[in-house]
Structure 1
Amino acid sequence: MNKCRSEVVELPPYRALLVVDVKNFSGEKGRDHARITRHIPVILEQALIRCGLGELRERVRFEGSTGDGYFWGFDPAFLPFLLNPFLAALQDELEYQNKVNLGSDRQYLRMRVSINVGPMTDSGGNDISDGSGDARIETHRLLDSKPVRDMLTRSTSTTCVAAIISRRVYEDAIVSGYAADAPELYVPVDVEVKTYCGTAYLRVPKPSGDLLASGFTPPEPAGTGPSAEADDVEGSGSGVQQQESRSSIVGITHVQGGVGTAITGHQPQVHVGRGDQFNAPLGDGVNIIGTNRGRIRHHVNKSGDQGDGR
């Protein structure tokens, strides 16, 4: 075994991590990519100033560009402020930027935001490896997940920010009350991206379009779900016959010894008694389930009325 892997090492410090990504960055003209990349951290800083948190810009532990996005690492004490009021301020700032900078050949700037907290490396000097750790990977998995992408796909350009936060952030900052944001504003979703699988929470400061009409988690498309499965059972071409719903009574006669519990249902399987057993259907809808010490009379009344159980 690798000696380094078997040794106990110190846990990295906990850091709050915010990562943003511009929607459809590749849809911008190549000549505009550099300008947008440079502009992203400026927008984030302006959002901090807009909500009265400009001093937080100087408290960033590590930061960097992802090409079509940007990330900031903070001491975890500042985590609540990244949720409230920063997310709403970022929505307002992007709306403003879209009004004053949008040209005829430019798209509206819209961002996905992922927020997490956990152990990450931090040299104190904004080293290239700072922010490394499982929590960092989880943050990017959440950012790339379908639920948060759908928030911008199913909304109009009015919605400039769609955020997704980890379960730990939700519990530590939202449920605890530190962020002073109502838990009802955050919608739980299941996330599966590559090898990551977990629960996260969506937050959209200004929903629009189908988000208002259908909610953050829309109903399943036609042709899927339990109702569709029932239709398949009823369909003539499915190869599966629907079971007829009929009432049934299980009655017991001439059984020596203890008697078990009578069971009702569509196809009850009842075997009560001792010794060899046999099942024999009769033409009147009565099944006789017998034992060598007595018999059980299973009466299926096709008219829908319950039999007498005799």
Structure 2
Amino acid sequence: MTKAPRTGIPRSSPLPPHFGIVAVDAMGSTRLPSIAQGPLSATITDLVRRTLEATELEDMSREFETNTGDGLSFGCDPAWVPYLVSPFVDELNAHLLRHNVGSQPPVRLRMSLHIGPLPVAPGRAGDGNAAARGESQRLLDSEPVRRRLKETDPRATPLVAIVSDRVYDTVVRGGYCGLPPARFTEVLAEVAGKDFRQTAWMYVPTPSGDMLRQAAATTGPAASGQTPAAPNQARGAADPAPAEAAPPPGRHQHVESGVAVMDCVVRDLHHHAAPRQDSDRP
């Protein structure tokens, strides 16, 4: 790179390389006794490792990998981000569902995905630290993600993922990952007490609890403007005898309304092996 001219104008700096940024964090870990926090950290690390292996991402180079005590974060080549959206999220959810079978308290995770420039300085202070990395943590801690975990069943919904608007626009809406855009819900990611407010997109692999009740309320007869069928009609009984002819009706206008459903209602929580990866993977 040529040197900047000495013109008295403030000098520019080269843009650091872009990285995909992954972060996961456990819900409610601060309420655990100290003796349980070490095993939880080891469990999360092991779950992520086994998920990377199951999705054939174990050879992906992980930069700036950091254990946060109740979670971890790392950077990667942005070319891998589509695979971290899908199938990694669904596979991690499946691992959590299997792990949480039994009487022990379930492990529940928040996960964020972001893309941005990060400085590379191995072995020196500031390695991998820049605004994009802080934003990934803010997405992880944002109120919509925490609320979604609280309003869902602890064992049926062990994972909520949130992706930045940049990831959604480039990777999801761009068609590079296996999940369609309709599986994501737009949210305003905010963190109490922090100067952070961004549009983001949330994905819940296995919805439950209030999510299903809200979906039912949105798509039920009352929401669609339709009149519920009589009990005997609902069960397929014969039509009742016709009533006496009514007076000629007045003019009526019938208006139908459409309903868009963002999330998928998943009733069967059994999971199978991860799908075969594309042959053109990086």
TM-score (norm. length: structure 1): 0.63
Q: Secondary structure at the match of 1:33?
A: helix
Distance 1:128 1:213 in 2: 49
How many residue pairs are counted as aligned between the two chains?
Answer: 205
Higher RCO (C-alpha under 8 Å, 6+ residues apart): 2
**Residue 142 (structure 1) shift:** 0.9
- 2:209 is matched with 209
Shift of the 128–208 alpha-carbon distance from structure 1 to 2, 3 Å rule, reads farther
Asked if residue 154 in structure 1 is aligned to residue 156 in structure 2, the reply is: no
- 1:75 is matched with 77
Structure 2, unaligned runs of 5 or more? 1-8, 219-282
Deviations 1:241-300 (CA, angstroms, capped at 9, x unpaired): xxxxxxxxxxxxxxxxxxxxxxxxxxxxxxxxxxxxxxxxxxxxxxxxxxxxxxxxxxxx
User: Is this contact kept in 2: 1:62–1:127, CA < 8 A?
Assistant: no
Distance 1:129 1:96 in 2: 38
- 2:16 is matched with 12
Q: Which amino acid in the other structure matches residue 112 of structure 1?
A: R
Structure 1, unaligned runs of 5 or more? 219-310
Distance 1:15 1:190 in 2: 23
Q: Secondary structure at the match of 1:206?
A: coil
- 1:37 is matched with 41
Aligned residues with identical type, % of pairs: 33
Q: Secondary structure at the match of 1:164?
A: strand
Shift of the 127–24 alpha-carbon distance from structure 1 to 2, 3 Å rule, reads farther
User: Is this contact kept in 2: 1:114–1:143, CA < 8 A?
Assistant: yes
State which of 116, 140, 146 in structure 1 corresponds to 2:137.
140
**Residue 126 (structure 1) shift:** 6.6
Shift of the 95–128 alpha-carbon distance from structure 1 to 2, 3 Å rule, reads farther
User: Is this contact kept in 2: 1:63–1:126, CA < 8 A?
Assistant: no
CA RMSD of aligned residues (A): 1.9
User: Is this contact kept in 2: 1:61–1:126, CA < 8 A?
Assistant: no
User: Is this contact kept in 1: 2:87–2:178, CA < 8 A?
Assistant: no
**Structure of higher CA gyration radius:** 1
Shift of the 12–49 alpha-carbon distance from structure 1 to 2, 3 Å rule, reads same
Distance 1:66 1:114 in 2: 14
TM-score (norm. length: structure 2): 0.69
State which of 93, 96, 101 in structure 1 corresponds to 2:95.
93
State which of 60, 64, 67 in structure 2 corresponds to 1:62.
64
State which of 56, 59, 83 in structure 2 corresponds to 1:52.
56
Q: Secondary structure at the match of 2:120?
A: coil
Is the strand fraction higher in 1 or 2?
1
Deviations 1:129-185 (CA, angstroms, capped at 9, x unpaired): 332111111111111111011111010021011011100000110011011210000
**Residue 38 (structure 1) shift:** 2.4
Q: Secondary structure at the match of 1:18?
A: strand
- 2:115 is matched with 117
Deviations 1:1-24 (CA, angstroms, capped at 9, x unpaired): xxxx94311111100000000010
Deviations 1:55-92 (CA, angstroms, capped at 9, x unpaired): 23xx1122011121100210111010110000000001
Shift of the 128–155 alpha-carbon distance from structure 1 to 2, 3 Å rule, reads farther
